[in-house]
Amino acid sequence: MKLSLSNGIFSKLGIQDNFNTAKKLGFSNIEFNMKSIKKEHDTDVYREQKALVDSGLNCLTLHSAVLHVKDSIEVHQAVYYGKISLECARALHAPLMTVHSNVSKKLQKNVRDECLAEVFGQIKPFAKKLGIKLSLENLSFNSTGFGKNVEQLEEVLDVIDPEGEIGITFDLCHALETKVVDELLDNYGRRVCNVHMANKFHQPFTKKKLELTHFLSVLHEYGYGGPITLELEHKTSMEDIAKTKAFFDKLLKEYQT
């Protein structure tokens, strides 16, 4: 398993400071969160590309800009966010992009399924063309988006991915908040290709907790060797990020094959 840091935590910094801060903390891998680009319509992905090369960091994954569509009129915007995020993933050589369902949980099932089909009907072939794998994230019960548990994720995947090509980004924080860790592991353990790592409310783990070691052990049994992406709350201090990194550097050694 490879430790990585979501750079969304430094989204208030300019892109160079953002990468440099991750570097100073000793990370070699990041997940690029599109929140780090000030405006979604800012399409200068080459500035990010240059800053990444200068930093020497590896971008293992990219978190798409997301719109939880509340009305079918918003489909075009959600498609645009997805496509511009894919362009950025390509510029940063990220092989994997984490996506949400992009639909609001308030939509009626028939409208929801129509919107899902339209959004992913456009994002999926574009991702394929660029050679970037998509990975669907489980959301928290308090998210405005649809897709918090197996029942909801199955509905989404049935519409957008009958071929079973899309991976799963397992957000442990969301799963703990929603109390669905085991059902997600049972159903998607083999399909996980990215992990968003945090305790409830995106607080850092800095000590061994049963829910953490249980989660990592099960993933390990499934043969998982992908990113463990620290996705921490904005106010987490530099000291706590450093502490979390040191803790995971040591802990992940226990799960080497």
Residues of the shown chain interacting with Zn ion in the complex, contacts defined by CB under 5 A: 171, 196, 231
Considering the complex, state which of residue 51 and residue 146 has its C-beta at the smaller distance from Zn ion: 146
Task: Give least dist CB 241 to Zn ion, A.
Answer: 16
Task: Give least dist CB 135 to Zn ion, A.
Answer: 11
CB 93, CB 139: distance < 8 Å: no
Considering the complex, state which of residue 51 and residue 193 has its C-beta at the smaller distance from Zn ion: 193
Considering the complex, state which of residue 18 and residue 98 has its C-beta at the smaller distance from Zn ion: 98
**What residues contact residue 122 under an 8 Å CB cut-off, 6+ apart?**
79, 82, 83
Task: Give least dist CB 240 to Zn ion, A.
Answer: 18
Would you give the end-to-end CA distance of the chain in angstroms?
Answer: 9
Considering the complex, state which of residue 51 and residue 185 has its C-beta at the smaller distance from Zn ion: 185
DSSP category for residue 233:
-
CB 76, CB 64: distance < 8 Å: no
- Long-range contacts of range 71-76, CB-CB < 8 Å, 24 or more positions apart? 72/111, 72/114, 72/115, 72/118, 75/115, 75/118, 75/119
Considering the complex, state which of residue 51 and residue 157 has its C-beta at the smaller distance from Zn ion: 157
Task: Give least dist CB 176 to Zn ion, A.
Answer: 12
Considering the complex, state which of residue 15 and residue 99 has its C-beta at the smaller distance from Zn ion: 99
- State which residue has the least CB distance to Zn ion: 196
Distance CA 116, CA 103 (A): 7
Task: Give least dist CB 31 to Zn ion, A.
Answer: 9
Distance CA 202, CA 236 (A): 9
Task: Give least dist CB 72 to Zn ion, A.
Answer: 26
CA 28 to centroid of chain Cα atoms: 18
